[in-house]
């Protein structure tokens, strides 16, 4: 059974800092891994989807990497801004149609 | 293009009452999902539908029923609401990408349900 863990649960950084969010998963036989963002009181927005054939994906200041052999993914945020404050969730497949989500990392970027 | 829409946005029920949460997507996606999100528990899958006419249980299906009315709509019904069903409910949809590659899930804004 797939289990997804995110560390840390919360993170507070000053504006401009580079930061890394961590995600680990137990079943490495995955075909992709996704990172989502959730703002308070809102739904989830997809940030990056990494296929198993890829090692990383980039979108603007965001870079996500995937290491299936170690069961880990990281989300790197460069030059953080207050607008990046949100909860970040990673999700790994738990079956052909199912996604298993981590509990998220709540990020606060202080001006 | 509205994406995934959910109604209602907020609902308060008394124990034992029933209600249906509605979800619709206009992206011609094959798969649709219902999740609940609770503090400290994360997002958990209730039911999903891989295609029109099919539904399957997720991680926490007890106390819920679903209907895939057509390709666009996927409803979630609480027959006899209980306080343990107080939660935020999210609907999502996903396209089946060509070549076997998976596509991302698109989420609705959520329904905040309180059962007293």
> Can you give the pLDDT at residue B69?
87
- Mean of pLDDT over chain B: 92
> What is the pLDDT at residue B46?
96
Length of chain B as a residue count: 116
Q: pLDDT at residue B82 above 90?
A: yes
CA triple B32-B52-B18, angle to 5 deg: 65
Decide if pLDDT at A108 tops 60: yes
Q: To which H or E segment does residue B41 belong?
A: none
Interface of A with B in 53-82 (CB under 8 A): none
Which of B42, B93, B94 is the best residue to mutate to test the A interface, defined by the most A CB atoms within 10 Å of its own CB?
A: B42
Helix then strand then coil, % of chain B, to nearest 5: 5, 55, 40
Pairing of strands B42-49, A105-110: unpaired
The per-residue pLDDT for range B11-61, each reduced to its tens digit, is: 999 999 999 999 999 999 999 999 999 988 889 999 999 988 899 999 999
Q: Which of A32, A41, A104 sits opposite B102 (nearest CB)?
A: A32
How far is A102 from chain B, CA to nearest CA, in Å?
Answer: 7
User: What are the backbone angles phi and psi of residue B84, rounded to the nearest 5°?
Assistant: -65, -10
Q: Which residues of B touch A64 (CB under 8 A)?
A: none
| A69, A28 Cβ separation under 8 angstroms | yes
A8 pLDDT above the threshold of 70 = yes
Q: Mark yes or no for CB contact B107/A45 under 8 Å.
A: yes
Distance CA B97, CA B115 (A): 38
Nearest CB to B43; choose among A46, A51, A101: A101
Virtual torsion, Cα A71, A97, A50, A85, nearest 10 deg: -90
The label of the residue with tokens 């945020």 reads: A77
């Amino acid at each position: 059974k797939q289990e997804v863990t995110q560390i840390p649960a919360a993170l507070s950084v000053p504006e401009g800092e580079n930061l890394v969010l961590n995600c680990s998963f137990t079943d490495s036989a995955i075909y992709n891994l996704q990172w989502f963002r959730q703002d308070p009181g809102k739904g989830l927005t997809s940030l990056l989807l990494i296929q198993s054939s890829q090692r990383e994906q980039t979108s603007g200041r965001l870079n996500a990497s995937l290491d299936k052999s170690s069961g880990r993914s990281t989300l790197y945020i460069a030059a953080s801004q207050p607008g990046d404050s949100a909860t970040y969730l990673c999700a790994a497949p738990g079956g052909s149609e199912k996604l298993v989500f981590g509990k998220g990392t709540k990020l606060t970027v202080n001006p | 293009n509205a994406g995934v829409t959910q109604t209602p946005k907020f609902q308060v029920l008394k124990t034992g009452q029933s209600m249906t949460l509605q979800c619709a997507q206009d992206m011609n996606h094959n798969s649709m999902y219902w999740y609940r999100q609770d503090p400290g528990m994360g997002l958990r899958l209730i039911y999903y539908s891989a295609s029109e006419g099919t539904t399957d249980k997720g991680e926490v299906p007890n106390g819920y029923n679903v209907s895939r009315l057509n390709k666009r709509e996927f409803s979630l019904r609480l027959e006899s609401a209980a306080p343990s069903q107080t939660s935020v409910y999210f609907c999502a949809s996903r396209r089946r990408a060509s070549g076997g590659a998976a596509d991302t899930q698109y989420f609705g804004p959520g329904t905040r349900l309180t059962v007293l």
